[in-house]
Every structure is written in structure tokens, then in C-alpha cells.
Structure 1
Amino acid sequence: MKKLLSFLVLSLMVIILAACGASEESKTEDTNANEGTENTETENTETTEPTKLVVGASNGLHDLILEQAQPLLAEEGIELEIVPYQDYVLPNEHLESGDLDANYFQHIPYLEDEIAQKGYDFVNAGGIHVEPIGIYSQEYASLDELPDGATIIISNSVTDQGRILSLLEVEGLIKLDPDVEKTIATIDDIVENPKNLVIDNSSAPEMLVTYYEEGEGDAVVINSNFAIDAGINPLEDSIAIEGSESKYVNVIAVRAEDKDNAAIKKLVEVLRTKEIQDFIVNEWKGAVVPVSE
């Protein structure tokens, strides 16, 4: 009888232990399943951070064009931060230092000169627009009215001077040495000056608007970005303006190491879309001309 009783007790304990083991195993499985679900939910809720581009741009024109591109780039997963500048020096310095991923303010000859003079390892990632350079005067309504010995104030930027002198030649005011490349021509390359014009090339580009507004000189040659920023309409207020066939295309400049960067390529692609080009045309009525390649 005692043996039977011991056997029954032992059997009951085995059943209870087995049940407890099954219960713990079930709890473990449920916990693992829940953890797996939580991990899956966490993975599903994680979002990819947008690629960020920091681009320096001239204030009042280039930055406005970039602002139009911001929502289009956001749709492509690119966050565009725009850093405005008032000068032509810092944007390249900050690009070299890595403070910027790209800049948008300079034309091709200026970029090439900066690379040659300062050793920047930059490349042109793509052209976006041309800003026709204009000649302005408070006193005269046309270049034909300029008197003998008139003073024309121009930029002291070496790359601007070749462009300005080419415009003066196109307008019939001077002739340049035909053996000199137009983009690098200087005052010394003038071979004919029938009106004995005095060409003052001592002024910083950003000061030319002030000289024009104060009536300095008989005429002042101003880059369109500075003119527009000051509320001057290049098409209506200039007495002569560069044609749209200009070689001075404004570009996106980047460090050479980033020339194949996908976000940079997308930036250029967006800036060349019809939406952005239409904005440029409508906003500046021909004073800024978009390019497609």
C-alpha cells in the first residue's frame, strides 16, 4: 500500500513539474515573439535621414534660385541649406575649408582664375545661368553720347576686365589686340581707343553700384547680380548690355573629390528643370538667362 501511495505521489509531482516547464517555455516563446514584433515595429518606424547639402550663394539672386530648388530637392531626400554671401572671396575659401559642400556665385572664367591663382582643387559641376553685364550712366542715355575723354569705371577683378573690355569692343568703343584671348584681356591690350576713354579699373565689384548711384564717372559697368540686388533693372536701366551668347556661365562649383557626389548631381539636375528655368525667366525678365547644359 505504501509503495502504491509513493508511486502516486511521485507521478503527481512529475505531472506538475512538466506542466510548469511547459508554462515557462510558453512564456519564453511569447516573450521572444513579442520582442521580435517590437524589433520589427522599431525597424519599420525608423526613417532614413535626408542627405544635407550646404551651398554658398551670392545674396539677392543665386540664393533666390536655390530657394526655389529647396522643395524639389526635399522630394528627393536632400535637405538644402543656403548660406548667402555679399563678396566673391569667402565662398571659395569656405568651400575649400569644408564649411560648404558647393557654391553658386561665380562664372567659369572667374572659377578658372581662382583655381590658377590660389591652387583650389575645384571643379565645375554644371552651368546654371548667365547674368549679362551692363553699362550704366546717370548722365547719358546711350554710349554714342559719351564725350571724348569720358571715364568708365569698371571692376578691378582680372576676370571681369576681359569680359568688360570685350563688351566695349562689341559696342565699338575700343579695339583689343586680336592675338590676345578675350577672357584675359587687360587695359594694356587696347590697341584702338578713338574716344580716348579713361577706363578706371580700381574699384571692387561690390562698390560699382554705389559709384553709379552717386554719379561717379561718366559710365559704370556693373555685374547684373549686384545691380539686381540694389533694385536696378539691367534691361531697363542700362545703356548697353551683354548678349545672351556670353561665355560667362554661372556654375555650381565643388571640391574635385565631390564631382561624382549623387546629391550634387541631383542639385544641378533640379536647377536645370523647366520649373526653375521658368522661375529665372519670369523673375528677371531676361536680365538673367538660364542655360540647360
Structure 2
Amino acid sequence: MKVEIVEFTEWTVINAALQSGDIDANNFQHIPYLNAQISARGYDIVPLQPSIVVPMGIYAGRAKDLDTLPDGATIGIPNDPTNSARALKLLELAGLIRLKPDIDQDAASPLDIADNPRHLRFSEIDAAQLPRTLPDIDLGVITLNYAVLAGLDPKAALKLEDETSHWTLVWAARRDRAQDARLVRFIEIYRSAPVRDFVLERFKGSILPTW
């Protein structure tokens, strides 16, 4: 099967290209981000099969571990709404905060924290800049695409998502093309054992297959 891969340098235009028919499918976003884009821009785009997880991790800044995190510590989290919610969920999984149970977990903000026993403070920062801010904050919650580019080791994360993450990336297509036989077949090939083995070997934990 012959496939043309189109690379974008600005991710806010990728769904626009899909909606306009310039591309047949994309694979860069999780469902919360896709839902936010559909709500904001009216795209008729649907999620297909999950692809990979680019794990989000909690990285040491001035604080070196979770157990000795000082009261009133500053935590850097992404400033876009979907990844801000994702960061808060990871902090909850790490036992640092507790979110209100009756909220939309995909849209959680620091205002939705029900319990913050260490009186943590949250600094919302552009996701790409978070690694650079680590010397000035106690912890940073960073996705591995930015962490690896900044030279951070996934194994050094104090807490790291795994392949069961709610924020897995998904293949997406315009609704009227979602059942295209070529696209269905391509995703079947992508979600095969050889591709899984390649991802595990090539990316050493910085990208995780979901199949």
C-alpha cells in the first residue's frame, strides 16, 4: 500500500486540513483535544482506532522526589485546557491532589481541585517551554515529545503515564471518509505486531503502542 505522509509544523492547522479534504486522516491528537476542536470549530471529524500514547510525566525541578515535596511547592503544567486537565489527573494519580468527582475530567482546571494537602501552587506554562522552566519550579508535568527533545530521560520521570492512559492518540478522519476501505486497511497494517515491535524497540518507552 502506497501512503503519502504529510508533516505539519503547526498542529492547529492539521484538523483544518483534514476537514478540507487535503489529507485523508491524521494521527496527532487525543480525544479530549479532538472534542475541543469540534466544539470550537464545528469540524465533522470522528475518531477511529487508537494509535500510541506519548506519555506525560512528572519531572523533578527544584524538588527531587514526590515524598519530600515542600508545602507550597510550585508545579508547572501545560497552559492549554486539555493538557492542563491531563496534568492534573496525573498529579491526582501521584497522590498529590484530589479532583472534584463530579466534574468533566477532560476539562479540569486548578479551580476543580477538591483537596490540596500540600498547598501546591500551579503555574500554567506553554507546553513546549516547560522543560526550560524546571530550574525555576519544583516539579513540571511534561509530555514526552517535549521532554525528550529537551534531553529528559523518560526513566527519570517521578511518575509516568502508561499505555492505559485516557489520553491515547487516535486516528481521525472526516465522517464521510471514515469507512474508506483503503483507510481501514492502512490502520489495520499500522496496528500490527511488526509495527508494535518497531515502536517498542525504536522509541524505548518515549512512545507506547496501544495494541
TM-score, normalisation: structure 2: 0.91
TM-score, normalisation: structure 1: 0.67
1:218 maps onto 2:138 in alignment? yes
1:285 maps onto 2:204 in alignment? yes
1:232 maps onto 2:148 in alignment? no
Work out the CA distance in 2 between the residues paired with 1:90 and 1:168: 30
1:89 maps onto 2:12 in alignment? yes
Contact between 2:164 and 2:210, CA under 8 Å: does it hold in 1? no
Counting only pairs closer than 5 Å after superposition, residues 37-116 of structure 1 correspond to structure 2 as 76=1, 78=2, 80-116=3-39
Bigger relative contact order, structure 1 or 2 (CA pairs below 8 A, ≥6 apart): 2
Q: How many residues align?
A: 211
Aligned to 1:206: 128
The CA RMSD over aligned residues, in Å, is 1.7
Q: 1:174 to 1:166 in 2, by over 3 A?
A: same
Larger Rg: 1 or 2? 1
Per the TM alignment, residue 143 of structure 1 is displaced from its structure 2 partner at its CA by: 1.5
Contact between 1:140 and 1:146, CA under 8 Å: does it hold in 2? yes
Contact between 1:122 and 1:256, CA under 8 Å: does it hold in 2? yes
Contact between 1:142 and 1:240, CA under 8 Å: does it hold in 2? no
1:119 maps onto 2:42 in alignment? yes
1:18-50 deviations in Å (ceiling 9; x for gaps): xxxxxxxxxxxxxxxxxxxxxxxxxxxxxxxxx
Contact between 1:87 and 1:206, CA under 8 Å: does it hold in 2? no
1:235-284 deviations in Å (ceiling 9; x for gaps): x2212212332111111111111101122112211110111101111122
Contact between 2:62 and 2:137, CA under 8 Å: does it hold in 1? no
1:179-213 deviations in Å (ceiling 9; x for gaps): 11322221111011111111112x2222223323x
Work out the CA distance in 2 between the residues paired with 1:216 and 1:267: 45
SS in 2 for 1:178: coil
1:181 maps onto 2:100 in alignment? no
Work out the CA distance in 2 between the residues paired with 1:230 and 1:84: 21
Per the TM alignment, residue 100 of structure 1 is displaced from its structure 2 partner at its CA by: 2.1
Q: 1:167 to 1:116 in 2, by over 3 A?
A: same
SS in 2 for 1:195: coil
Q: 2:182 aligns with which of 263, 272, 280?
A: 263
Per the TM alignment, residue 141 of structure 1 is displaced from its structure 2 partner at its CA by: 2.5
Per the TM alignment, residue 216 of structure 1 is displaced from its structure 2 partner at its CA by: 2.9
Work out the CA distance in 2 between the residues paired with 1:231 and 1:267: 33
Work out the CA distance in 1 between the residues paired with 2:92 and 2:115: 10
- Identity among equivalent positions (%) equals 37
Work out the CA distance in 1 between the residues paired with 2:208 and 2:22: 29
Mean Cα displacement is larger for which, 279-288 or 114-123? 279-288
Work out the CA distance in 2 between the residues paired with 1:90 and 1:210: 26
